Amino acid sequence: MTRGRVPWPLVIPAALGLAFLVLPPAGLVLRAPWSTLGARLAEPQVLAALRLSLVTATLATGLCLLLGVPLAWALARGGFRGRNLVRALVTVPLVLPPVVGGVALLTVLGRNGIVGRWLEAAFGVTLPFSTAGVVLAEAFVAMPFLVISVEGALRGVDPRYEEAAATLGASRWTIFRRVTLPMVAPGVAAGAILCWARALGEFGATITFAGNFPGRTQTMPLAVYLALETDPQAAIVLSLVLLAVCTAILALLRDRWVSGP
């Protein structure tokens, strides 16, 4: 079959699909109030939301790396029973509506939550409606992306490299640190970027668990939603900023990890 000759029952839906995906962001660019863009971007509320978004997404990614890489390692290398069940549990936040995730977080880490009550009594720590709560909500939603990506990378590493390291005298921890981890570094980086992008766009779990307090828990997506009700132009500007950030991430990823065959 000649390459490029696609039957028309496929061409039309394909073209529609492409338009459907490309037009809305394009509309965002077209309708942006370019003349006042500079002034609007410099508004302290926008800057505060942007800063909060970048900081919390980065912290959430850090938390995901800290917990998710060992979890991925256990899933890929651990010989324990019920591994498939654990893997299924890990992916739950992926399919769960984020709002439900937020409610779930409240029931556990909220002031009257199972763990939250104890945290407050023992340490005086309250997580809901705080910046830390934003980080937790984002990490909850974004971690499966990291775990799945890193586990895939770990499965791609020939375990005999780890055996070779063991015969050279390396302990399991040294093997992980100096052999396994460097070999899956591209997978970890790809996973971290996906995770970060997901955390940056997080809305449902964040607003449910952390609320919408400017400067403290109001991230960019929350600011966009709020602005839409009062000042649609501002919502477009904020959306444009998120679009720019995400496009930059995609460009960063494309060169190294997402390029097709």
The CB-of-166 to other proteins minimum distance in angstroms stands at 4
The CB-of-180 to other proteins minimum distance in angstroms stands at 10
The CB-of-155 to other proteins minimum distance in angstroms stands at 17
The CB-of-195 to other proteins minimum distance in angstroms stands at 23
Candidates 53, 50, 54, 41; CA nearest to 234 is: 41
SS (H, E, C) 198-253: HHHCCCHHHHHHHCCCCCCCCCHHHHHHHHHHHCHHHHHHHHHHHHHHHHHHHHHH
User: Is the Cβ of residue 114 or residue 164 nearer to other proteins in the bound state?
Assistant: 164
The CB-of-79 to other proteins minimum distance in angstroms stands at 13
Task: Catalog residues that contact other proteins under the rule CB under 8 A.
Answer: 158, 160-161, 163-171, 174, 178-179, 182-183, 185
The CB-of-168 to other proteins minimum distance in angstroms stands at 4
The CB-of-184 to other proteins minimum distance in angstroms stands at 10
Reduced to 3 states (helix: H, G, I; strand: E, B; else coil), residue 179 is helix
User: Is the Cβ of residue 158 or residue 255 nearer to other proteins in the bound state?
Assistant: 158
User: Is the Cβ of residue 88 or residue 185 nearer to other proteins in the bound state?
Assistant: 185
Cα angle for residues 106, 227, 63 (degrees, 5° grid): 40
User: Is the Cβ of residue 179 or residue 220 nearer to other proteins in the bound state?
Assistant: 179
DSSP state of 193: H
User: Is the Cβ of residue 180 or residue 206 nearer to other proteins in the bound state?
Assistant: 180
Q: How far is the C-alpha of 142 from the C-alpha of 61, rounded, in Å?
A: 8
Are residues 28 and 219 in contact, defined by beta-carbon separation less than 8 angstroms? no
User: Is the Cβ of residue 7 or residue 169 nearer to other proteins in the bound state?
Assistant: 169
User: Is the Cβ of residue 104 or residue 184 nearer to other proteins in the bound state?
Assistant: 184
Q: What are the residue ranges of helices labelled H in 78-159?
A: 83-90, 92-95, 98-109, 116-123, 131-155
Please provide residue 73's backbone torsions phi and psi, each rounded to the nearest 5 degrees: -60, -45
Q: How far is the C-alpha of 141 from the C-alpha of 167, rounded, in Å?
A: 40
Rounded to a whole number of angstroms, the CA Rg of the chain reads: 22
